[in-house]
A = this chain, B = another copy of it.
Amino acid sequence: MTVPARGAEALTRMFQPRSVAIVGASDDPARISGRALRFLREAGFAGGLYPVNPRRETVQGLRAYPSVADIPEVPDVGLIAVPAAMALDAVRDCAAKGMAGVYVFSSGFSEAGVEGAKAQAEILRVAREAGMRVLGPNCLGAFNSEIGFFGMFATSLDRGLPSPGPVAVVSQSGAHGQHIAYMARQRGLGVTYCITTGNEMDVDAAEVLDWVVRQPDVKVVMVYAEGVRDGARLVSALKTARALKKPVVFMKVGSSAAGARAVSSHTSALAGADAIHDAVLRQYGAWRAVSTQDQVDIAYACAWGIYPASGRVGLVSVSGGGGVQMADFAERFGLDAAPMPEGARAKLREIMPHAAPENPFDVTGQIVNDASLMERALRVLCTDTDYDVLAGYFTTVALDRGATGRLRDAILKGTEGHDRLIVLCMLADPETVRAYEEAGFLVYEDPYRAMAAVAALRFFAESFARAEEAAAPLPPACARPGGPLDEVAARRLLAEAGLPVLPETLAASADEAAAAADAMGYPVAMKIVSPDIAHKTEIGGVLLNVADRAAVRAGFDTLTSRARDAAPGARLSGILVTPMARKGVETIVGVTVDPTFGPVVMFGLGGVFVEVFRDVCFRAAPFGVEEARAMIPETKAASLLAGARGAPAADVEALAHALAAVSRFAAANAHWLDSIDINPFLVLPAGEGALALDAVIVPSPDAPGDAADEERKAS
């Protein structure tokens, strides 16, 4: 018996099988255990089909095998449609046979409590030992419509089997996975793969995503997830997708408190912090859909494979209101309904002397009587403008049995030879819509949804264009600190990591303090440093704007005596001398270690902004300077940094370099880090840099020398 490969090859055998065993296959084609076989037969699956049922000679007209062992070849995949109590034996039989993988349809495992989790673990042990992969348990299976393989018992397949096409669906939820596939089909989209991962005891959605984006026929993937089991694997799959220019439209649920409660109660997946999931998906080029409708709308747009080079959109309509709506929605979704170029204006004036030759351009209801107006207007938009997207709004004109043919001819002729993305918004019969789609147009009922989809196409265009930044090498990891770091130690670590800090000296004497201040230049700030004095300001332990040498010497004495008076037993580390910080924009830079994605860098405006407005953004570490630059406009910090209220523009380059540096530091020290809080991180005027003024670095509470640390040391 050969042990099959654990990786992509096994998945290929599982989702492109040449032969299938159905363990527990029922003769009743309406039962869960009978459905997959029925669908496989209906679809004309050309490979081997081996129902296993010890109680019958035949199942649904096929010869039944009393056991897996009796099957005359080694099937690529086994579908296990037996009650939970019998699943382990079935898995063992399939493993013994040497199958690449099994789908465990059965429920009653980790989702059902402790006993179920134990049974699941045992299945996993058996499968792992044999090198066999497992989809599920508690999953709905998967289909590959290209080869008529329907290893799935979805109710919606009763309404007809999907045709192959550009779409793949990957879903943790079985019910919702087939729901998405059904909606895509309703929208006229071919769906080649739908793969549901259920409890994900072995194969998870990320691994399936990585496999499915590599399939040449797949042009767009819809993912539905309640939790992410392995953040690194998901990131890796998203990077694969981006490198192959395959858009991933991702619906991640569980963002609400009640939703997260439900997720943890019904699957074993971690909901994770929603804002971080959101940021990571964006960072690695996946578009997060807000609803299933949104997801299908965007996948539909992606199926055409046209990713516009800019968000400049030219708009034409048959009603003023339609044009205005498109313009509103374009702006709402960040597109640019830029003014009509002068050359085009002149030509539009010739076509309709009374109409304003603007963008949006309103051909008016005259279209019903004279469709050539639309043809001519579209020709102008195609030849005399540089809009990368053209969108037309036709309300109900295509419902008019007289006008619909004239409208189609006008649109086809007017856009002949075009190379733009053209989106039509109309109410129309399905056959009318199909005809437009076949001619290369995207068709939406609602311009709101159309513009949302165009915005997603633009997002993918930018994401595909952004070559992955060559990651700067990580700095060497630091030794895990023995405990919390004092501020001086924290700043020193950050300075070593390449973050800008003020020069500072911890002076043990008035002479040392004065010498340090001389070197720094005046004025300076002076501060008591003591592990035993937390609130320095309250005891007068901070002196600002100390102007000269004499004042520094005097200040040293003042501070040390204040420390002695206020806290007689306190250990005094010394008096810290730093130059006075200049004026700048106060931001906050932080690191949190997410249980799913590891160290994540946070950035936002400092002070009350963080607390009141929660105006922060995140990126998984490490990342480069380009990615760091992209963080800044995600918060309102951008407008302050650009120089609001007459202030000079701030040094955003220094900020971006610092963000990238802190991300590298966090990635290098993820094994011991719990959090970093640099607040304020002061961004000085352009050319003057930035400063990590205060920093708190907290090591994780794990005992020093834990497993990860040991592993690290060994490597």
Residues of A within 8 A of B (CB): 30, 32, 107-108, 111-113, 116, 154-156, 158-159, 171-176, 178-179, 182-183, 224, 226, 253-259, 261-263, 265-267, 290-294, 315, 318-325, 327-332, 337, 339, 354-356, 358-360, 362, 364-365, 368, 395-397, 399-403, 427, 445-449, 608, 611-613, 615, 636, 639-640, 644-645
Report yes or no: B320 in contact with A258, Cβ–Cβ below 8 A. no
Complexed CA–CA distance, A340 and B322 (Å): 45
**Chain A interface mostly:** helix
Given A158-B401, A321-B253, A445-B293, also A258-B178 (CB < 8 A): no
* Across the A-B interface, the 8 shortest Cβ-Cβ residue pairs: A175-B319, A173-B321, A265-B356, A291-B448, A256-B331, A266-B320, A259-B327, A258-B337
Q: Would you give the shortest CB distance from A272 to chain B, in whole angstroms?
A: 13
Report yes or no: A262 in contact with B323, Cβ–Cβ below 8 A. yes
Number of copies: 2
Report yes or no: B158 in contact with A321, Cβ–Cβ below 8 A. no
Report yes or no: A399 in contact with B156, Cβ–Cβ below 8 A. yes
Given A253-B328, A256-B330, also A365-B174 (CB < 8 A): yes
Q: Would you give the shortest CB distance from A30 to chain B, in whole angstroms?
A: 6
Complexed CA–CA distance, A405 and B113 (Å): 32
Given A174-B365, A265-B358, A328-B255, also A291-B446 (CB < 8 A): yes
Q: Would you give the shortest CB distance from A7 to chain B, in whole angstroms?
A: 28
Residues of B within 8 A of A331 (CB): 255-259
**Complex: chain B residue closest to A172, CB-CB:** B321
Report yes or no: B354 in contact with A113, Cβ–Cβ below 8 A. yes
5 contacts between A and B (CB under 8 A): A108-B354, A155-B403, A179-B395, A226-B321, A293-B445
**Complex: chain B residue closest to A445, CB-CB:** B293
**Complex: chain B residue closest to A429, CB-CB:** B159
Residues of B within 8 A of A328 (CB): 253-256, 259
Report yes or no: A644 in contact with B612, Cβ–Cβ below 8 A. yes
Residues of B within 8 A of A315 (CB): 258
Q: Would you give the shortest CB distance from A570 to chain B, in whole angstroms?
A: 25
**Complex: chain B residue closest to A614, CB-CB:** B636
Residues of B within 8 A of A639 (CB): 612
Report yes or no: B159 in contact with A293, Cβ–Cβ below 8 A. no
Q: Would you give the shortest CB distance from A153 to chain B, in whole angstroms?
A: 9
Report yes or no: A399 in contact with B155, Cβ–Cβ below 8 A. yes
**Complex: chain B residue closest to A154, CB-CB:** B396
Report yes or no: A360 in contact with B258, Cβ–Cβ below 8 A. yes
Most-contacted residue by chain B among A401, A446, A612 (CB, 10 A): A612
Complexed CA–CA distance, A613 and B608 (Å): 13
Complexed CA–CA distance, A401 and B262 (Å): 29
Complexed CA–CA distance, A64 and B261 (Å): 72
Q: Would you give the shortest CB distance from A150 to chain B, in whole angstroms?
A: 15
> Which listed residue (B253, B290, B327, B446) contacts A262, Cβ 8 A?
B327
**Complex: chain B residue closest to A290, CB-CB:** B448
Residues of B within 8 A of A171 (CB): 321
Given A179-B427, A319-B173, also A259-B324 (CB < 8 A): yes
